[in-house]
Amino acid sequence: MENSLSKNILSTIAYYDVMDYPMTAFEIWKYLIGESCALADVIGELEKEETKKYIGEFRGFYFLKGKKSLVEQRTERNKISNRKLKKARKIIFWLRLVPFVKMIAVAGRVGAKNSRSGSDIDMLIIFKRGKIFTGRFLATALVHLLGQRRHEDKIANRICFNHFITDELSVCVRDLYSSHNYIFITPLYGSGLFQKFLEKNAWIKNYRPNFTFLENNLKTVKDSQFSKGIRFFLEKLFSSNWIEKKLKTWQTEKIRKNPLTQKKGGMIICSETELAFWPDFENQGPKIFEKFQENLKKFGWKNH
């Protein structure tokens, strides 16, 4: 197949097939892996017989041949995810009171609206620079007191804090899978900062050149005079750099001693600008890429 756009379209469908995620024509264009193009061009390519040899279409969703059942599954997972997002908003209503918080987003499968019923709710939180350890401690304590923190065997519908950054907005991992994670997060508080995050992390455009963030489509948690007042008071209370240093020392040591930190194939990031906890990282990004390469072989390609 000589047409590069057709290759990019099939590669995008093949990549999301690994995640059991059939896509509309608009989504294929929006999340396209490859070079920038017009939506009309994507629609035109999808109608070509050469492309249709490899993909199927049902109810406006496109998928690899033989994967029609994924459409019904995606519809069901969308309903499950919406229920989890509704719960997340209730938790974020309280999390907005945490001092130094700038943005709270739902990430992972729930953010992508592709969640299973038994899964947790991943969250990415952005804190004011110099306050990431204080913010993490207080956010975790609050969610634990609310009885909603994921721990031990309490997983389903629980909040999982696995990624924190500061408003410097820099992240360490910059690859295809990370680009997927970031464009699929759903910011539910402080969503205006997400556009700045995308601008700061221009590398995402290397993987997803057509992606744009539409803030108006989100049902977000807004600030009130009450929440602003509470947060202002708590920020004064926890403003001391001594508190941040003590919490940094305590958390860093706790992270270092955690057996999951040493788990083979995991990725743990612990710095003053980013905290990330992905003990099963090898079975996420790398495993998805491996299966993606296997899908490409169905087209007679070695890689993309």
Q: Are residues 98 and 58 in the same domain?
A: no
Residue environment code for 199-214, b if the CB has 16+ CB neighbours within 10 A, otherwise e: eebeebeebbebbeee
126 lies in the same domain as 20:
no
Q: Domain for residue 73, yes or no? A: no
- Does residue 297 lie in a domain region? no
14 in a structural domain = yes
Query: Does 101 lie in the same domain as 43?
Result: no
Q: Is residue 114 helix, strand or coil?
A: coil
Number of domains in the chain: 2
Question: Residue 84: what pLDDT?
Answer: 97
Residues 175 and 259 in one domain: yes
Residues 153 and 222 in one domain: yes
Q: pLDDT at position 1, please?
A: 47
Residues 135 and 186 in one domain: yes
The C-alpha atoms of residue 62 and residue 55 are separated, in whole angstroms, by 7
Instruction: Return d(Cα 32, Cα 26) in angstroms, integer.
Output: 10
Q: 11 lies in a domain?
A: yes
Structural domain of 187 = 83-281
The DSSP annotation for 195-217 comes to: HHHHHHTTTHHHH-TT----GGG
Cβ atoms 275, 132 nearer than 8 A: yes
Under DSSP, the state recorded for 223 is P
Block means of pLDDT (10 residues each) for the chain, 304 residues, are: 84 97 97 96 95 94 96 97 96 98 97 95 98 98 97 93 97 96 96 95 96 82 96 98 98 94 92 95 91 90 62
In a domain, residue 76? The reply is no
Q: In this structure, are 21 and 63 located in the same domain? A: yes
Q: Which residues pair with 274 in a beta bridge?
A: 165
Please indicate, yes or no, whether residues 99 and 190 belong to a single structural domain of this protein.
yes
Q: Does a structural domain hold residue 44?
A: yes
What tokens appear for 129 in the block?
Answer: 């620079």
199 in any annotated domain? yes
pTM over 0.85: yes
Evaluate whether residue 87 is within a structural domain.
yes
Same domain assignment for residues 88 and 57: no
Residues 115 and 206 in one domain: yes
Is 255 found in the same domain as 170? yes
Q: What is the pLDDT of residue 300?
A: 80
Do residues 179 and 50 share a domain? Answer: no
